[in-house]
Amino acid sequence: MVDYHKKQNVFRRLSPSVVIVKAYAPGLVFVEEVFVKEGQDVKKNQQLLKLKYRKTLSSGQDVHYSLQQQISHQLNLLSEQEKNLIKVSMLKN
C-alpha cells in the first residue's frame, strides 16, 4: 500500500475567500446608509456603512430633539421680549 500523505512547510499567508466580521458600536447606533450590497467584494478601507449615533436622555428622549425644542422655545421668548421692548419704546416717544 502506498502512503499519499506529504508534509510540507508553507511560507505564504493563507486568506479565506469569505470573511464574516461582527462589528459592535458603543451606544445607540442606527445604519443611515449602506454603500455595499450583500455578497459584493470590498477593498481595504472601503466605506461600508454610514452610522448615525443617537444619544438619549434618562427620560428616553433624543438629546438632539430636546435641544432643538429648547432652542426654539428660547427664540420664541426672545422674539416676544423684543416685541415688548419695541412697544415700550414707542409708548415713551
Is 79 part of a structural domain of the chain? yes
Reported pTM: 0.42
Termini Cα distance of the chain: 118
pLDDT attached to residue 3: 54
Could you give the CA distance from residue 55 to residue 67 in angstroms, rounded to a whole number?
Answer: 11
Asked if residue 20 is part of any domain, the answer here is no
Q: Determine, yes or no, domain membership for 66.
A: yes
pLDDT of residue 34: 92
C-alpha grid cell, residue 76? 420664541
Model pLDDT for residues 27-63, shown as the tens digit of each residue: 677 888 999 988 888 888 899 888 887 777 778 788 8
Is 21 a member of any domain?
no
pLDDT in the model for residue 91: 84
The larger pLDDT score, comparing residue 74 to residue 29, is at 74
- Count of the separate structural domains present in the chain: 1
Taking alpha carbons only, the member of 38, 63, 64 closest to residue 49 is 38
Is position 72 within any domain?
Answer: yes
Containing structural domain, residue 54: 28-36+47-92
